[in-house]
Structure formats: C-alpha cells, structure tokens
Amino acid sequence: MQISKVAIVGAGTMGSSIAVAVSGSGFPVVLKDVDEEAVRAGLQRVDRLLASMVKKGLPQHDAESQRALIEAATNYEAFPDVDLVIEAVAENLDVKRVVLKELDDNCNVHAIFATNTSSLPITLLAQATRRPDKVVGMHFFNPAHLMKLVEVVPGLDTSTDTARTAVEFGQALGKLAVRVEECPSFLVNRLLGRYMNEALWCLQEGVATVEEIDRAAVEYVMPIGPFALRDMNGADVGLAVARYNYQEYGERFKPSPILEQMVKRNFLGQKSGAGFYEYDRETRKRSGPNPELSEVLTDVRALRAAVPSAHHNPETDQLARVLQTDFSQPETAIHASFRVERLFLPMINEAFLVLQEKICQAEDLDPALMAGLGMRKGPLTLAAEIGLADCLRQLEELFQRHGERFRPANLLKRYVWGGRTTVV
C-alpha cells in the first residue's frame, strides 16, 4: 500500500517529534489533539524543533516547507483522506484502545493504524478495531526526529501487507526499520532492561559505586552510563518498566529493591533534583553524586537481611563497602571483583533468548541496539569479542552465585557446543 498522507494523534513531546520526522520526508501531516490548547502547544514544540534544526544547519526555506506540511486538528474531519495514522497518546492500554476505536469510526477502510507503544501488546490493542489486520506497532525512539530506529511490531492478526508497508514507510523516513515479533518490551527495551537492572544489582552488592559503574559502561561501549540514563528517564518510570518485565518474564527480570526505595524517597532523577546524582532543578545540570544514596543502600541492606535471598552468601556480601564509600570522590578505584562485562552478560544472554524465540533476524539485532541505544557495538559483537565459550563460562559461574538472572540461554550453549565463534 502506498502512503501519501499521514495523521498523528497526540501532539505531545513524542507526537510533535514524529510530526517533524514525517514532514521531513515530504509527507503531509495532520497533527491532532483533544483541544486547541493542546494542539497549539504541539505546534510550538514543532517550531522549536525546527528552529533547533536550522541552528544545526537545516536551510531556513527547508524548515519553512516542512512546517507548511503540518496542519493542526481537534477533530477527525481530515482523517478520511489519510492513509496511515500514528497513534502517539499516553502509554495506557485503555486510552489507546479508545483512540483506536475512534479512528476505526472516522478513517477510510484502507487506512493503517500504527501504535507508537514501547511495550503494550499490539494484538490486544488491535481488538479495539474492526480491522486488526491493519493495526501494527511502530515504536519510534525518542526524540523521533533524530533517532534512527523504529521497531515495527506486527500483532497476531496484522497482515503481511500492513507489516511490509510499515517497514517501507519507516525506511522512507530514513530510519532503520526493524521487524520485531510481538513480545513484552519488544527488542531494544527488553535487552536494555537486563543491563540496567544488573547495574543496580552490582551497586547493591557493593562491587562498585555509581560513578565507577557509569564510567566503566561508557568506556566500554555505551554513550551514557546506566545510572545517568536512569536519572534522565526517572526512577518511577524505571520501576514501572522493571515490574512489568518481571511480571511478564519472571525471575531473571527480578528488579533490585533499590529503585523502589528511591521512588519512596522521591529520588526520581533530573525531574526531582536528585536520583543517583544531584541536579540543578532549573537547568537539570548534574552537580555530583547524591550523598543521600547511602541511606537508600542502608534500607536495602536491612530488607535483604530480613528476607535472605536463596543465593545470598554473607561471607561474600560486599554491600557494607558501598555503605562506607565516600560518594563525593569520583575517582575511587573500582573494586577488584567488578568486571564491566558483568553488566552486559545478561544483555548478551537475553539476545540469545531473543534469537531462540525468533523475535528478530540475527542480522538486525546489533544494528537495532546500536541505533536505538547508541551502543558502539551490539551485544552479539560483544559476545564474539569476549568469546562465546567464555561468555558461557562466566554465565555459568554467575548462575551458581546469583541464580536465574544468569541462567545461560540454550541457544548460546548450542553455539558453544557446535564450536561457533560468531552469530552472524
């Protein structure tokens, strides 16, 4: 199916950014929200994004042409002429289902509905319409006008033509459009969650401090450390995602209690002025480590003592070392027991589980992680560099000490048994 005109429902931060991405490739866009005030705010966001792009080199006349392609709407009058609607409202199942039902009543029978969800089930969302074959997930990464990745996620009833059209449309926007089979958190956020959670477990155990872990991750392969990233996104958001993944995937996604304690203390990150680091409330500029983090770790230690883990060994528990750490000293030497690879072994293992489940093509996995997270190397490349046999050995050792978080994927075992040294 050919896409000539696009509508976006939801003129918030994400919807406005998607509007800029779509209009930048020459597609006319209808940007809709519930009332004039919401639409006006959305268009102001569009104007700010375009002004920023002009400062970075976009010719002014190109920005003006792009802006002229975007029209505002508070109703569905223009929607019968639209070929593709991208729903970008709040990440709430009930809200999205209401919007999809309204679209079903107001769009032509051939129109495709793309939901910009980061984790909600496409199959369930599609049931709000009479056209589940024309509903597909298109997960744009924030900010959509800059980030190169879009995950295209078909539901159980999504037709082959709908999925293909969504991939081709993503490519027309200049994106890396990767087809991902439906699963909780899809591909990139699923693997990211394993890495982010392991950083918390390392902190809880006391094998390294916040700054040591962040610095090691950046030096190894990431553009930003896990704790700085968590502060950007918010501990409350992180906790909700962690709980969801734990509910869907089970024990290997069990969240560290650190996040819950931080949310209780309103240590949410940049938006509250303190998280793993402290921030200026107005500029959100980081001023240094949060000195009250030691209290969070004390609470976690008390909880852990009250309910011992099956894999907790008091003789090797190093949490006390973190509790005595001076968080104002960023150059503290990393403890000998910390290896940066440990942060990525759960991600690598999850990558093999993803391939085992046929969630994506092996050749798409590393490019998706690099485009979506800014990694300099993807997890399959890291696995090959570490050595698949060595990855398996380390996972087995960590599994003996820590349990389900490190249970090796069967596919990884088979690769090692078969003498493979690379995946793709």
Catalytically active residues are 118, 139, 151, 189
> Is residue 253 within 8 Å of residue 194, measured between CB atoms?
yes
Which token pair is 140? 């744009």
CA–CA dist 102, 97 (Å, integer): 9
Sign of CA dihedral 340, 341, 342, 347: positive
Specify the long-range contacts of residues 117-122, CB closer than 8 Å, at least 24 apart. Answer: 117/91, 118/91, 118/185, 118/186, 118/189, 119/91, 119/184, 119/185, 119/186, 119/189, 119/241, 119/244, 120/91, 120/93, 120/96, 121/155, 121/182, 121/184, 122/153, 122/154, 122/155, 122/156, 122/158, 122/182
Please give the order of strands across the beta sheet that includes 112-115.
70-73, 29-32, 6-9, 84-87, 112-115, 135-140, 149-154, 176-179
Query: Phi/psi class of residue 374: alpha, beta or left (left: φ > 0; alpha: ψ in -120 to 50)?
Result: left
